[in-house]
Every structure is written in C-alpha cells, then in structure tokens.
Amino acid sequence: MNKKQVTFRIDPAIIKKIKFLAVEQDRSLTDLFLEAIQDLLKKYGKKGKR
C-alpha cells in the first residue's frame, strides 16, 4: 500500500496524551492516528481505499 506523508499542528497537551496512549497500548502514533481517521470516516459515512 502506498502511503503519503502529512504534516499538521496539534496542541502540545493533546500530543502528550496521544503519546502516553501509544505507550500504554504498545502501538505507534501512526497507528493511533490512522485508527482515529478511519473512525471519523465511518462516522461521516465516507468510504476510502484500503
């Protein structure tokens, strides 16, 4: 699967929480962000390529 790199800004307090969650879940930040994006797409009824 081809992947594209994206860059965006996040509030420092939020990224700190996400990093902690990643450690707790033994997952990467990328994994957590991809899961969150997929959940948003499901919520709003958008279907993407996998």
Per-residue pLDDT reduced to its tens digit, 1-50: 788 999 999 999 999 999 999 999 999 999 999 999 999 999 998 665 55
Position 19 scores a pLDDT of 97
Give residue 3's pLDDT.
86
The model's pTM: 0.77
Label each residue of the chain as H, E or C. CCCCCCCCCCCHHHHHHHHHHHHHHCCCHHHHHHHHHHHHHHHCCCCCCC
User: Please, are residues 22 and 28 in contact by the beta-carbon 8 Å criterion?
Assistant: yes
Task: Give the model's pLDDT for residue 50.
Answer: 53
Is residue 18 a contact partner of residue 29, using CB atoms and an 8 Å limit? yes
Geometric angle at alpha carbon 44, from 39 and 50, rounded to 5°: 55
